[in-house]
Amino acid sequence: MNIFFFIPSLEKGGIERSLSRISRKLIELGWDVTLLTNELSIEGKSYFEDSIKIIKVETPFENKKFLLFQLLNNFLLFIKFRKIINNHKPKFVLAAKNFPLAIMLKKFSKNKFKLILREAVDPHVAANTQRNFILERIILFLKKKLYPKSDRIIAISQGVKDSLVNKLSIDAKMINVVYNPAADEKIIDLSLEITDDYSFKNYTIVNIGRLTRQKDHLTLLKAFKLVIKETKCNLLIIGEGSERQNIENYIRNNDLENYVKLLGYKSNPWKYLSRSNLFVLSSIWEGFGNVIVESMLLGIPVISSRCKSGPAEILDNGKYGNLYDIYDHNKLSELILHEISSKELENSSNIAKKRSKDFSIDKITESYIKSFEELLT
């Protein structure tokens, strides 16, 4: 069975990591997997093994920001992608980005493939990030009209599915909830590598993610400022992004330089995670929250914001980790202090590891295959 993974922009992130794991397992099971893209970063490519075929399409306008150039770029991509699809004749196309282009390809390609859209974010939340009411309305209108033209939608959490049904009026029957395959056993081996740029002398809290407004590092830092008034500990932040300067300013203005360390982007964050005592996710919203599962796999306790959509589902509303309401730095500081003084680390660690198995590559890939096969009956 042949399938195309349609990811126009292949960067470093949760989408790429999740699809690389699924594609790896599909190939093991005898599937013919091809990755179709037009932007391929070194970091993005590193997620995918050599056994995965990658077709990269180039256009003269791919890095242009003007609307006219973007429209020309999408038109050229449509022409080139359609030719490739007609030649290779995939049975399925799984689109992770640029859904309008994917739907146009389905409508106008000679090869009649089954199109699956993988929705990783609550569409209403994603539209709100545009900070432009008119653009937000346009995006929601287009999604409402275009999504039903696919054959199946895979939502990576129940929260994402609920939003698609309740806010975009999409038929629930065409949406399958399939979580991310975040429990990759390879992480365990990678976590054993040596960390030569940080020594874990004190109780260490770790946060992993892009330095963006979505991740809300300022709430974490406000909570941490309260925590160090009560006990000695350190905060390790791994990631890079547009909010770095604001984060650095807060650290400096609040005399936290001796307690907080920004490590930047790390290709192997798990070697730091495995040596930490606590993982905290402070996001305003998440489609899923891969790093929560990765922490659980390594037996690291988790505290997460109760944000849309995935974290509360992963933690089963607090059964496998503590939750606090977004922006509530006072509650977060209380939970951190409680975790530091907890005497049940070993038991909670074993429970977390067991829960992480629900997100194994084998189990999640099986759910993807079931979604594909349903379209053939």
Tell me the CATH number at 15.
3.40.50.2000
DSSP 138-168: HHHHHHHHHGGGSSEEEESSHHHHHHHHHHH
Supply the pLDDT for residue 137.
77
pLDDT confidence of residue 46: 66
pLDDT band at 124 (very low <50, low <70, confident <90, very high): low
CA 167 to chain centre: 22
Domain shared by 90 and 47, yes or no: yes
Q: Of 11-15, 125-129, 137-141, 246-250, which gets the smallest average pLDDT?
A: 125-129
Between 131 and 147, the more confident residue is 147
**Hunting for tokens 């895979």 — which residue is that?**
154
| 210 CB neighbour count, 10 Å cutoff | 19
Among 198-202, 339-343, 345-349, which stretch is predicted with the lowest mean pLDDT?
A: 345-349
- In this structure, are 105 and 227 located in the same domain? no
Q: 361-374 and 14-28 helices cross at what angle (nearest 10)?
A: 80
Confidence of residue 128 (pLDDT cuts 50, 70, 90): low
The burial of 32, by beta-carbon neighbours within 10 Å (0-12 exposed, 13-18 middle, 19 or more buried), is given as: middle
Model confidence at 31: pLDDT above 90? yes
Residue 266 in this model has a pLDDT that exceeds 60: yes
Per-residue pLDDT at 349: 84
Q: Which two tokens stand for residue 92?
A: 């399925």
Residue 129 pLDDT > 70, yes or no?
no
What's the confidence (pLDDT) of residue 344?
Answer: 72
**Confidence (pLDDT) at 370:** 96
- Strand intervals (E) in 296-367: 302-305, 308-309, 322-324
For residues 275-305, one letter each, b for 16 or more C-beta atoms within 10 angstroms of the residue's C-beta and e for the rest, the string is bbbbbbbbbbbbbbbbbbbbbbbbbbbbbbb
Q: What is the Cα 127 distance to its own chain's centre?
A: 17
On whether both 169 and 226 belong to a single domain, the answer is: no
Look up the domain containing 156 and give its range. Answer: 2-181+361-374
Q: What is the pLDDT of residue 362?
A: 95
**Spatial contact of 191 and 353, defined as CB atoms under 8 Å apart:** no
Residue range 115-133: mean pLDDT, rounded:
73
Question: What is the token pair recorded at 179?
Answer: 């979580």
pLDDT of residue 167: 87
What average pLDDT is seen over the chain? Answer: 90
How far is C-alpha 344 from the chain's CA centre? 30
- 134 plus 231 within the same structural domain: no
Whether residue 131 is predicted with pLDDT greater than 60 in this model: the reply is no
My answer on whether 130 and 143 are in the same domain is yes
In a shared domain, residues 133 and 266: no
What per-residue confidence (pLDDT) applies to 326?
A: 96
Three-state DSSP state, 75: helix
**203 plus 327 within the same structural domain:** yes
Half-sphere CA count of 24, side-chain side, radius 13 A = 18
Residue 336's Cβ-side half-sphere holds a number of Cα atoms within 13 Å equal to: 36
Nearest to 306 by CA among 277, 290, 287, 285: 285
- In this prediction, residue 176 carries a pLDDT of 97
Look at the chain and report how many structural domains it folds into: 2
Residue that wins the pLDDT comparison between 129 and 242: 242
Query: Can you tell me the mean pLDDT for 371-376?
Result: 94
Band of pLDDT at residue 127, cut at 50, 70 and 90: low
Band (pLDDT 50/70/90 cuts) for residue 142 is confident
Q: How many CB atoms lie within 10 A of CB 214?
A: 18
Res 63: pLDDT: 66
Q: Are 10 and 108 in the same domain?
A: yes
Residue 1 confidence (pLDDT)? 87
70-120 per-position pLDDT tens digit: 778 888 889 999 999 999 999 999 999 888 899 999 999 999 999 999 998
- Asked if 170 and 215 sit in the same domain, the reply is no
Q: Is the pLDDT of residue 11 over 60?
A: yes
Q: Give pLDDT, residue 308.
A: 84
103 and 26 part of one domain: yes
In this structure, what are the phi and psi dihedrals at residue 94, rounded to the nearest 5 degrees? -100, 115
238, 174: one domain: no
CB burial of 329-345 (b: ≥16 within 10 Å; e: otherwise) equals bebbbbbbbebbeeeee
Would the pTM of this model clear 0.85, i.e. be above it? yes
Residue 7, pLDDT score: 85
Question: What percentage of the chain has pLDDT greater than the value 90?
Answer: 68
Q: Note whether 125 and 78 are same-domain residues.
A: yes
Q: Is the pLDDT of residue 136 over 90?
A: no
Identify the helix (H) or strand (E) that includes residue 260.
strand 260-264
